[in-house]
Structure 1
Amino acid sequence: MRQCAVTAALEFHSISKRFGAHAALDCLSLAVERGEILGFLGPNGAGKTTTIHLALGFLKPGAGGGTILGKPFGDTATRSRIGFLPDTPSFFAGSASSAVALAGRLNNMQSWLLRERSRELLARLNLTSAGKDARRFSRGMQQRLGIAQALVNDPELLILDEPTSALDPPGVLEVRELLRAARDEGKSIFFSSHQLSEVEQICDRIAFLDRGRLLRHGPLAPFLEDSGKMEIVIDGLSSDAEALAAYRPYRTSLSGNSMLFIVPARIQRELIEKAWAAGGTLKSVTPLRRTLEELFIKWTESEH
């Protein structure tokens, strides 16, 4: 039996967009695979929101194109299969439940299903007892309400622009669990954020955009694993041990009879051998992980 190829949930094919003389996006090619969370990163003005607006058909590309759930960008029938959260959600006068109901009706949801999903999401996001005018909600409450709107139609693809930017720690945790659950159900999530610690905890892959160009993309773990540095703990030597004098610039702390060093991987062996020769005991050797914050700064500075 011939098998059909599984298309990506979201694909950009050499897409570009200019606003006058400014190139907001320059020949971007990128795919969000089915059942993954992709973190879309970059400094302010990198072109992240422009990318999202092109995918949703709010803007027309100057060159290139793409597909969303197998259909060209802007396909009207596909919108009911997508959940979207803008970076700053806004609302009409009315309650949280009416705002979620509006989103559901725009997606042609049946009334009984809309009522059920609305109750479930408002309870999950602690909005059941919110006030009567969503325009007057706190920024964090509006953020949670926007997430409820994005999720109400049980979308196949979520496109989220800064979903945790205004949330307190409990709200961040709740949204994190919602997104993980959505991924586990097979949904795809395109997740633009400046909250780098959240990206580290939740994303399967990342893409880094700067000045409209894609600089890095791929699975998250390899980016974080190779820092080129090792954390080494030595026991049994005094802090002024002559054998390790040359390594004092790498020593970061002392605790009782233990010394902790952070050294380039290339010199870990010589440090360990000299510690052993001086009668020390190797307690641990741990490769250091990088953080996304470190990588963000490095990648941005390398392009400026």
Structure 2
Amino acid sequence: MPQIPVGNSFIDEARENSYYDLVMPLYKMTSSGEPTYQLGTCFPIGSGVYLTAAHVFEGFVDARRRYQRPTGEKTLPTQEEMVERLKFMKEDHFLENTDVNCGILILDQSEIRNGRLKTLGFSLVTSIIMTLDFDMAVLFVKDDKRLNSDGNISPIALWPLIETPGLDQKVLIAGFPEAHQKLIVRGKGKSQKLEIGLSLVINKGEITEMHPEMHNLGNAFFPCLRTNAEIESGHSGGPAICVKTGGIIGINSTGGISGGIISWVGKAFDAELITPIGLKIGSESVDAGESTTLRKMAEAGTINIY
């Protein structure tokens, strides 16, 4: 359970990128923009685009329960079930009336280079898109507070996504386990000040099992990877990083006695992600109740996959 000191958090020898630049705690927010509690972890894959685990949102969990088989049978959904789910997500406007107010705590990258953690505030999430069959949610932020170490919007580091990981591949599980975090909010609005005590925890391991359809144990209803690296509460939604390539193979999902489960992001590249409100993604307009995919977002230049 190694906590990463700020001074030792750099990914490369040139100290161009820190894990604190690229892994952020995700908080539940009030409608007025005040943080209430930590939901989990998230990470940036595009300008104003982040990934996290879908299960951190109550609306997702409720929708999953609606489509849970009474028998508890763990097999892929039938074609009829997929049609029914898609109809529910489109016509009933999946998540439309769910409280998904959340914010991403952004750290000052220039201060990180000086060995200090200082916040720039919260990037408030304006839209969330997801599907019922993957533990993955895409977060969109209109007014992203992320700045590079020179204080500019760009260029800025982002995580690329890997489609095909391999068995025995070495991975890093990154995130902000709740037991190690402290956030005190003083004041409101423009006078709001944040006192933080953040500890990024990165656990090392390997991919020990690959389940391209779904796992038949526990709550892993999605294509997933098993790892012998520990996944703690609060790691949920954080990146599972390939040591060899520095790309993302998945999203931290659930922990266990002998490791944890990673949501296999490459298997979700073509999954239909339903948006409850209209979105502009690159040159593509997505109407409320309609869908896009990670692959379409990559073709539009919004994210990078390989």
Question: What TM-score do the two structures reach when normalised by structure 2?
Answer: 0.25
Higher share in strand: 2
Question: What TM-score do the two structures reach when normalised by structure 1?
Answer: 0.25
- The structure having more radius of gyration, on CA atoms, is 1
